[in-house]
Amino acid sequence: MQNDEELIEKVAEKDDQAFYELFNRHEQKVFNLVYRYVGAYHEAEELTQDVFLKVFNSAHKFRGESKFATWLYRIAVNTCKNYKRKKQPTVVSIDDPEISTALSAPASTEPVAILAEKRKRAIIQQAIDTLAPNQKTAFVLSKYEGFSYVEIAEIMKVSISAVGVLLFRAKQELKKKLLPYKQRGEL
């Protein structure tokens, strides 16, 4: 079985089979990374297509200085960041009337526990969405994708100590935003 680096060399020669093989291997991870970054299913679908299209068109630029997966995730992260930069996200208020109405309305068919869980996720997601772009990227790669500092540094093309600083600041911001909810028992 060929490794990713061998396959991408073939993709550079426009080998469709090699491209399909690479796509199969990484499709789920890339899609979920994008989905966790942008938070919307259809946008994640479009952006994932963009990512793999860029891989196909830029395969000749892969020089083997890093692992293929690192290069791929770098493309995915940059695609997400560009998308977010162009499109201001619609920030749903944490005290969204729809959510609080659903929680209090006796006619709601959704169990209260599920609604409370949704509200909790909305609170956390909003806090993460308001992080500075590089902090959010580092946090998502670390917390959601489980990458190490070394891997994050390769993906983001920054130093390992810079990754440490980004994650430190991200956590401080999240603590500032989320601690009040935690203390009120809403998280």
Partner 1 sequence: MNCRRMRRYISRDLDGELDGIEKQALLDHLEICPECKQDYENLSSIINTIEPPAAIPAPPYLFQGIRQAIYAQKHQPFIIGWLKPAFVPALFLALFLFSAVISGPLVQRITPKPDKTDSADLELTLSLTVFDDAPAASFSNIYNNMMTRERR
Residues near partner 1 (CB under 8 A) = 20, 23, 27-28, 31-32, 35-36, 41, 45, 48-49, 52-53, 56-57, 121, 124, 128, 142-145, 148-149, 164, 167-168, 171, 174-175, 178-179, 182, 187
CB of 109 to partner 1, least distance (A): 22
Residue 128 vs 155, nearer CB to partner 1: 128
Residue 105 vs 168, nearer CB to partner 1: 168
Residue 16 vs 110, nearer CB to partner 1: 16
Q: 31: which 2 tokens?
A: 């899609």
Residue 102 vs 128, nearer CB to partner 1: 128
CB of 175 to partner 1, least distance (A): 5
Q: Is 156 helix (H, G, I), strand (E, B) or coil?
A: helix
Count of CB atoms situated within 10 Å of the CB of 31: 19
Amino acid at 85: R
CB of 27 to partner 1, least distance (A): 5
Distance CA 10, CA 60 (A): 9
Residue 24 vs 97, nearer CB to partner 1: 24
Buried b (16+ CB within 10 A) or exposed e, 65-89: ebebbbbbbebbbbbbbebbeeeee
Residue 57 vs 101, nearer CB to partner 1: 57
CB of 30 to partner 1, least distance (A): 8
Distance CA 185, CA 120 (A): 10
Contact by Cβ (8 Å): 171, 138: no
CB of 79 to partner 1, least distance (A): 13
CB of 160 to partner 1, least distance (A): 9
3-state helix/strand/coil string of 43-92: HHHHHHHHHHHHHHHHHHHCCCCCCHHHHHHHHHHHHHHHHHHHCCCCCC
